[in-house]
């Protein structure tokens, strides 16, 4: 059977987007992983399934490259809003997200952030065998949930941190039973950050939209800067804005690369 898909990306965080409203697709962990494989599949960081929604323009399901289904993906939300015509409400496991395209930029309101970390230090402090709230030189984190879970560390030099080594350790730390996305950020100017992300279920990516949202929120909450915050990642720049009690807003590009068909029989 032919499977029609769109290859898209947001700042180099790349997606295979399948519109399940126009073709029947039963997604499984194994199929998502096979399609995402860069050697034997199509290749992507996340596989995105668009389905009908009773409460929004469409529902977006998100599968990491390891096949696990997750709650939210900022870069993919911008891509889906552009595919849906440039103005849409997208239903996700992480909430209902409103997006609109203005010129070449897609602006999306994510949810009001939750600071899940606030509940953690007490339990953690009781575990005296462990270094409290730090992994090597990464200390004093902020835990932010913007639909999906993130931990953010502010450092002096993001390029000096071995995120390829620390990222997997933190992602799978028993402290985070659902695992976590790991972000490190450096203040490079007024309201301006440089950031890298080790994504849960993927690894190092060129950009992470929800990671940028979590990091912008963490910087504002720590009093390091005011919004809007410009965040440079290896794949490019997003602008994040937030005020307490409000949803976090993300603005940036969405790129459609090509539309094609894959032979589904190859993957079964």
Ligand X SMILES: N[C@@H](CCC[C@H](N)C(=O)O)C(=O)O
Site for ligand X (CB under 6 A): which residue of 57, 64, 82, 191? Answer: 64
Known active-site residue 79: no
Helix/strand/coil for 217: helix
Nearest distance, CB of residue 2 and ligand X, angstroms: 27
Cis peptide before 228 (omega within 30 of 0): yes
Separation CA 143–CA 182 (nearest Å): 10
Site for ligand X (CB under 6 A): which residue of 201, 227, 235, 252? Answer: 201
Choose, from 44, 79, 208, 213, the residue flagged as catalytic: 208
In the region spanning residues 204 to 223, those forming contacts with ligand X, defined by CB under 6 A, are 205, 208-210
Nearest distance, CB of residue 73 and ligand X, angstroms: 4
46 binds ligand X (CB under 6 A): yes
The strand pairing partners of 105, in sequence order, are: 102
Which candidate, 60, 166, 218, places its Cα nearest to that of 47? Answer: 60
| Contacts with ligand X, 238-257, as mask; x by CB under 6 A | --------------------
Contact 203, 209 (CB under 8 A): no
Helix/strand/coil for 75: helix
74 binds ligand X (CB under 6 A): yes
Helices (H), ranges, the chain:
29-36, 74-83, 120-125, 163-171, 209-221
Known active-site residue 44: no
Binding interface with ligand X (CB under 6 A): 13, 45-46, 64, 70, 73-75, 148, 181, 199-202, 205, 208-210
């Amino acid at each position: 059977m032919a499977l029609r898909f769109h290859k898209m990306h947001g700042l180099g965080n790349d997606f295979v987007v399948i519109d399940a409203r126009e073709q029947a697709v039963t997604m499984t962990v194994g199929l998502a992983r096979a399609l995402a494989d860069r050697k034997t599949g199509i290749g992507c960081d996340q596989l995105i399934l668009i389905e009908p929604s009773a409460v929004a323009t469409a529902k977006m399901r998100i599968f990491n490259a390891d096949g696990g289904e997750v709650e939210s993906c900022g870069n993919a939300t911008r891509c889906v809003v552009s595919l849906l015509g440039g103005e849409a409400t997208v239903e996700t496991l992480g909430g209902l997200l409103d997006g609109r395209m203005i010129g070449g930029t897609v602006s999306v309101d994510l949810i009001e952030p939750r600071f899940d970390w606030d509940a953690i230090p007490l339990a953690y402090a009781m575990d005296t065998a462990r270094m409290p709230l730090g992994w090597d030189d990464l200390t004093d984190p902020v835990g932010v949930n913007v639909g999906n879970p993130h931990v953010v560390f502010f450092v002096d030099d993001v390029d000096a941190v071995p995120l390829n080594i620390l990222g997997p350790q933190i992602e799978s730390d028993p402290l985070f039973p659902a695992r976590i996305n790991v972000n490190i950020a450096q203040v490079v100017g007024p309201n301006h950050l440089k950031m890298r992300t080790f994504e849960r279920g993927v690894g190092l990516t060129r950009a992470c939209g929800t990671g940028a949202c979590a990091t912008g929120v963490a910087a504002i909450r720590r009093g390091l800067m005011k919004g809007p915050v410009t965040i440079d990642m290896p794949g490019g720049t997003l602008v994040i804005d937030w005020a307490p009690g409000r949803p976090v807003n993300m603005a940036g590009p969405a790129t459609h690369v090509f539309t094609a068909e894959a032979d589904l029989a190859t993957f079964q």
